Amino acid sequence: MLHFGASLRLIGRPPNVNLPGDNSGGAIGDIPGDNAAASEYNGLNFLDRAPQPHQSASLLKNSVLTIGILGGMGPQAGIDLATKIVSETDASIDQDHIPVILYGHPGIPDRTAFLFGKTSLNPAIAIASGLEKLSLAGADVAGIACNTAHSPSIIGEVGRLLDEAGCDLKILHLIGETVRALTILLPNVKRVGVLGTKGTLKFRLYDEPLEKTGIAVIHPKDLDALNGAIFDPGYGMKGFSSPVSEKARKNVLRAVDDVIEQGAEAVILGCTELPLAVSGDYRAGIPLIDPGQVLARALVSAAAPDRLRPPRVPLTSVE
């Protein structure tokens, strides 16, 4: 998958973009010149409940923070994010790495089932509880290793519950980070394929912020096959993620090929399981974007900006 870099010191959102369910707007910070923009990217897209940008920037400048990961929404989701945090940290000895606390919470109710009304139990309750535990354990900034959990009806309630509990844990927004990274690093891309759960696609979690930047969104035609690759009890990645079954891998690759054939100039693998089934940064010359990789880099940047590795894929190769 495409590995985004990090040196545009931004806190906010892409120009004229609101996250789904967010009416507050918010402009990005000053962008350095073209040379700096071409070298690396660093966006910190906090949920609205987090401190104001100047407060966060001051905090991040003066100390190494502890990263919290809320996993369990997919058995490999949190582990995969933790691995990517390590890979994105510029370290030569143990002591160069960043403190990370991973809480794998498999008891979080299914996000897609909630969005489609199959259960009235909002996963936000368990998610907020897990984030509180991370905060109590010492996490300063956290990421939620699930795309569908960033639906407004879930993530908005998470923020409300954390505020109600007086929890000041700072949370980076997975989808906001991914959209900003794409719009900054691939400014010429105007058609993006989005893969994900039926909840992510049906409720347009990526579509709305991308469309507000003028980017057209393309979904795969066979959503049932893609959904099977994630959820099917016989071969899906929820149960068979290490290794991924051959049928699941083929279904995911067919979905990637489908959106590319429809004209996608980049593809977002918008479910934490999907990157497990795809190897490489490109497919038929089209960049593949792993939101987990974007979030990992943003978390490293938030915790210790000077320890973020340079991007491994030259941006000039994808412009």
Question: Angle at CA 221, nearest 5°, toward 216 and 225?
Answer: 130
Q: Which of 319, 317, 308, 302 is nearest to 62 (CA)?
A: 302
Residue 299 has pLDDT above 50, yes or no: yes
CA 138/CA 292 separation, integer angstroms: 22
Mean pLDDT of 179-196: 93
In the chain, pLDDT over 70 holds for what percent of residues?
78
Residue 221 has pLDDT above 80, yes or no: yes
- What's this model's pTM, rounded to 2 decimal places? 0.81
Helix, coil or strand: residue 137: helix
Residue 111 has pLDDT above 80, yes or no: yes
What is the per-residue pLDDT across 58-109, written as a single tens digit (0 to 9) for each? 344 458 999 999 999 988 899 999 999 999 999 999 999 999 999 999 999 9
Out of 88-92, 123-127, 167-171, 312-316, pick the least confident.
312-316
- Count, residues in the chain: 319
CATH numbers and ranges of domains, the chain: 9-175+293-312 (3.40.50.1860), 185-290 (3.40.50.1860)
Amino acid at site 34: D
Mean pLDDT of 157-174: 96
CA 291/CA 138 separation, integer angstroms: 25
The residue assigned the tokens 């507050």 is 24
Backbone φ, ψ for residue 60 (5° rounding):
-70, -30
Mean pLDDT of 100-124: 95
Mean pLDDT of 225-246: 90
Q: Where are the alpha helices (DSSP H) in 3-98?
A: 34-39, 53-62, 77-87
CA 162/CA 165 separation, integer angstroms: 5
Torsional sign, CA 50, 51, 53, 56: negative
Mean pLDDT of 223-231: 92
List, by residue number, the catalytic residues: 146, 271
Out of 104-118, 129-143, 212-226, 278-292, pick the least confident.
278-292
